[in-house]
């Protein structure tokens, strides 16, 4: 007969609770502007992605996104690409939220992670077998959209954060 493994020591849970309380105490994080911007960017980016795919497929005949291929009709391809763009934007917003709660320099960390992600999303379509024009167009859309999301979320958090020394100008009395 096997016995159950011993329970985790209570110290582990106490550390988790202490970390949660420490994160909860800091009310200086600009979460409301971050999430409003993230949701707005998600909706706008999804709409732009849908319009770009529809225009490229119907007007120019480019089979964007290259992952969908030529057998997929324009509307489902545009819808799936737009939904992916929306999901990635919400995930980027959640990453920024997480970094605001845990990182010493959240904007710098987010830009570094975002740059790596945008690079991967830009190069990835070029590795897929398919028409080169579709791969190039998909890479361009990923580069433009990813760069816009990283820059927008970084700018919103950078503008909304309180830094030491910020505050109203006070004249010193002599």
pLDDT digits (tens, 9 = 90+) for 91-133: 999 999 999 888 889 999 999 999 999 999 999 999 998 899 9
pLDDT bucket at 142, cuts 50 / 70 / 90: very high
Mean pLDDT of 139-150: 97
Quote the CA–CA distance of 58 and 65 in Å, as a whole number. Answer: 13
pLDDT at 166: 46
Q: Would the pLDDT of 1 be above 80?
A: no
pLDDT at 39: 97
What is the per-residue burial (b if ≥16 Cβ within 10 Å, else e) of 53-90?
bbebbeeeebbbbbbbeeeeebeebbbbbbeebbebbe
Q: Select the more confidently predicted residue: 137 or 22.
A: 137
């Amino acid at each position: 007969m096997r016995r159950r493994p011993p329970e985790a020591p209570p110290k582990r849970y106490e550390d988790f609770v202490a970390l949660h309380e420490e994160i909860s105490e800091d009310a200086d994080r600009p979460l409301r502007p971050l999430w409003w911007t993230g949701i707005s960017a998600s909706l706008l980016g999804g709409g732009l992605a849908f319009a770009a795919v529809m225009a490229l497929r119907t007007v120019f005949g480019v089979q964007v996104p290259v992952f969908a291929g030529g057998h997929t009709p324009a509307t489902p391809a545009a819808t799936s690409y737009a939904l992916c763009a929306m999901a990635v934007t919400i995930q980027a917003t959640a990453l920024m939220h997480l970094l605001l709660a845990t990182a010493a320099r959240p904007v710098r960390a987010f830009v570094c992670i975002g740059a790596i992600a945008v690079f991967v999303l830009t190069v990835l379509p070029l590795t897929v077998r398919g028409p080169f024009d579709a791969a190039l167009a998909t890479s361009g859309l990923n580069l433009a959209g990813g760069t816009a999301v990283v820059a927008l979320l970084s700018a919103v958090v950078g503008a909304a954060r309180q830094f030491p020394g910020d505050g109203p100008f006070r004249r010193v009395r002599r």
